[in-house]
Amino acid sequence: MNPRKSFHLCVASLFLWICLTRVAGICSKSIWVDEAITWHYAQLGGVELIEEVKRFDSHPPLFYLLAWISTSVFPAEAGIRLPSLLAGLLLPWAIHKLALETEGQGCARLSLVLSGFSAYSLYFSQEARNYGLSALVATLAVLCLIRTRRSPSRASWFTYGLLLLCCMYTYLYLALLLAMLVLWWVHQSFQERKGPWGPWILCHFCSALLFIPWIPVVLRRAALQGDLSGHFEPGWSSWDLVKTINHFSIGHHEYLSHTLGSDLLGPLVLSCILGGLVLGGILGSRERFLWCLLLLGVPCLCWRLPVRLHFYDPKHLYFLLPFFLVCQAKALDNMKRFLWKGSLLGSFLLFNVASTLWYHSPVFQKAGWKDLAFLAAREGRSDDLAVFDPYYVGYALDFYLDKNTVLCNRIGPRMDDPLAELETSMVRGQRVWLFTSKGPVTQYRPEIRRWLEERRMAVADVGFPSQAFPIVGQSESIRMTLFALKELGNSQEGDLSSP
């Protein structure tokens, strides 16, 4: 077969794999609480959406606005995940173009393969949050700036300015990436003894000017996020770095730990090998200074940030995945021995295919919130009181049920004093449903359950997995408990079971 035809056939097959893995099951996955927040904002729409995000959210509104548009056209599950899906389908193409622009055709082909089979990219292509969009706009911004520097034009400067604005209104942590791009531009300008400085300054000035309305929101939210006093846990962040490297290369580290039978040694050794490989790709690259800034400078800044210790979680650095894969592909492209290159590439693909199949397996597609919502609809009464802890648990139920048809009396949204609100809301003889979701960053308030246990008796209790990760023991992250008066408890006692 003609080599050109063979190449086109391989690209077509890869594109088919990308489409199948990212589209499959997108309407059957159970929503979870963060996605439920996206659904809630999408139901508001327009100015009301922006005002709600300003008051209560940590992220800018661009992704939520796109979700609002898509949900007005497509059904619920497909609608809220459509922006992430489109970003996930376009990301391998953007990574290929970036590698072709900076490192040549060999690296571009390898980066296309690595990004197409990336199981971690698959995960964010089906999650209704802004991480997938952040990776795409970050890649396009870097690509556009490189092309603009080489062939400046009014159209290219306008496009770059628009991408700058999209970055800032998609994900606040992309400000770290934009800071590194500024350093790269200054370095290149002094090294090459040419600008152009005027359009570059104007572009950044206009983008910053258009972001001014959101700056008070950023400052207010930063003051509320975590501990600003500088407390830091280097051990935890070091392990997060290990997870980040492994997630980017082979998919979720939980799969690897399960496969190797080790929660520490296997991932640690592998992260050292993978980290060394990517570092070799950086040093062997034509754009080594840019990759050093993005892949070393941004994580170092994250390492020392005193706010939001979970910032170093792999998903918060997902926007660096495209540059990680380009450097990984460059390291493979620089290898002279075909045996080493083929073995490493085959290992990457094997692990990512295994992670992809594991992700799409039935055990990881448990219904979770869907089961809980239908169970609440079956067992609930119109005069029952529903308490949501934290408040956005109620959005997950509303995704599956019409909130006006079941459990109409509800409290929980942004309770300043939940116990006082419970005191004034409960009436004698009323049954109380408590919906809780536990997680590392949820605003869970255990005093609500204790208060109810002192005054009521739990007559039914059921737990569900919020995300189907049986390996790491998240078996009952969602809990639904029915409380009744103690003297009425025996007559109301029952066992809730899944529908």
pLDDT of residue 307: 47
Print burial letters for 307-323: b (CB count within 10 Å at least 16), e (below 16).
ebbebbbbbbbbbbbbb
Specify whether 126 is located in the same domain as 234: yes
Residue 74 belongs to a domain: yes
pLDDT of residue 229: 40
pLDDT of residue 393: 78
Q: Which of 315, 336, 364 is where one domain is finished?
A: 364
Q: From CA 391, how far away is CA 415, in angstroms rounded? A: 8
Per-residue pLDDT of the chain (499 residues; tens, 9 = 90+): 566 777 778 888 888 998 998 988 887 777 777 888 898 899 888 889 998 888 888 789 999 999 999 998 887 788 899 999 999 999 999 999 999 999 988 899 999 999 999 999 988 998 899 999 999 999 999 999 999 998 999 999 999 999 999 999 999 889 989 999 999 999 998 888 877 888 999 999 999 999 999 988 888 776 665 444 444 444 445 667 777 888 888 886 454 444 444 456 667 777 888 888 898 899 888 889 999 999 988 887 766 555 444 455 678 889 999 999 999 999 999 998 888 888 989 989 998 888 888 877 766 655 567 777 777 777 777 778 888 877 777 787 778 776 555 566 666 655 566 677 777 777 766 788 888 877 655 566 778 888 888 877 887 787 766 544 443 334 447 788 888 876 554 444 445 554 4
Amino acid identity, residue 152? P
Q: From CA 369, how far away is CA 388, in angstroms rounded? A: 13
pLDDT of residue 224: 61
Domain of 479?
A: 369-492
CATH number (domain holding residue 466): 3.40.190
* Residue in the block written with tokens 């495209």: 322
Residue 44 belongs to a domain: yes
Phi, psi of 411 (to 5 degrees): -135, 165
How many separate domains does the chain show?
2
pLDDT of residue 365: 57
Specify whether 225 is located in the same domain as 275: yes
Specify whether 403 is located in the same domain as 309: no
Specify whether 189 is located in the same domain as 135: yes
Contact yes or no for 144/156 (Cβ under 8 A): yes
Q: Which of 364, 380, 405 is where one domain is finished?
A: 364
Specify whether 195 is located in the same domain as 61: yes
Residue 170 belongs to a domain: yes
Residue 499 belongs to a domain: no
Residue 498 belongs to a domain: no
pLDDT of residue 419: 74
pLDDT of residue 324: 95
Cis peptide bond upstream of 199, omega within 30: no
Specify whether 195 is located in the same domain as 276: yes
Specify whether 345 is located in the same domain as 387: no
Specify whether 408 is located in the same domain as 273: no
Print burial letters for 249-262: b (CB count within 10 Å at least 16), e (below 16).
bbbbbbbbbbeeee
Specify whether 185 is located in the same domain as 75: yes
Residue 56 belongs to a domain: yes
Q: From CA 66, how far away is CA 70, in angstroms rounded? A: 6
Cα separation values, 33 from 152, 164, 194, 291, 305, Å: 44, 29, 50, 35, 26
Specify whether 228 is located in the same domain as 319: yes
Amino acid identity, residue 431? R
Specify whether 62 is located in the same domain as 81: yes
Contact yes or no for 156/148 (Cβ under 8 A): yes
Residue 181 belongs to a domain: yes
Using a CB cutoff of 8 Å and minimum separation of 24, what contacts does 232-240 make?
A: 232/304, 232/306, 232/309, 233/309, 236/309, 236/312, 237/303, 237/309, 237/312, 240/312, 240/313, 240/314
Three-state DSSP state, 482: strand
Residue 472 belongs to a domain: yes
Strand 432-437 and strand 385-389: the pairing is parallel
| Ramachandran class of 18: left when φ > 0, alpha when ψ lies in -120 to 50, beta otherwise | alpha
Specify whether 476 is located in the same domain as 403: yes
Q: Which of 312, 339, 364 is where one domain is finished?
A: 364
